[in-house]
Amino acid sequence: QVQVVESGGGWVQPGGSLRLSCAASGRAFSSVNIAWFRQAPGKEREFVSAISWSGGRTDYADSVKGRFTISRDNAGNTVYLQMNSLKPDDTAVYYCVANRLHMSHYSGMYDYWGQGTQVTVSS
């Protein structure tokens, strides 16, 4: 069993940066893949980024490639999402999710979900 809790959301002006954290409990953390999804009001949930259990593979949505960086610290049971050059379109609730199978852009492939953290980008 893995439990994940997001933190680090908030308000930032366009062009600014935020770092989201996903803290996980459970000894299985180093064996699960972690991803971030986001959902804006009135829009469907969408894939943002993912990192494999070892940290050796990462994946990004085209909309965030070059601006966001995902990383993990297995010793600290934490995954980070560094978000730079933020845009108003990045405004959403961001969810940390986990699974043991493989990285995927499909939210239904993930078994463990956090409660989400709000990110608001506006002037």
pLDDT (average), residues 61-80: 95
pLDDT averaged over every residue in the chain:
95
CA distance 78 to 19: 12
Over 80: is that where the pLDDT of 27 sits?
no
Over 80: is that where the pLDDT of 44 sits?
yes
pLDDT at 88: 97
Residue 123 binned pLDDT confidence (cut-offs 50, 70, 90) = very high
Residue 98 near residue 75 (C-beta atoms within 8 A): no
Three-state DSSP class for 109? Answer: helix
Question: Which pair of structure tokens corresponds to residue 77?
Answer: 């049971």
Of 83, 94, 63, the residue nearest 14 (C-alpha): 83
Question: Which pair of structure tokens corresponds to residue 88?
Answer: 């108003």
Residue-wise pLDDT tens digits, 89-118: 999 999 999 999 889 999 999 999 999 999
Over 80: is that where the pLDDT of 46 sits?
yes
Residue 28 binned pLDDT confidence (cut-offs 50, 70, 90) = confident
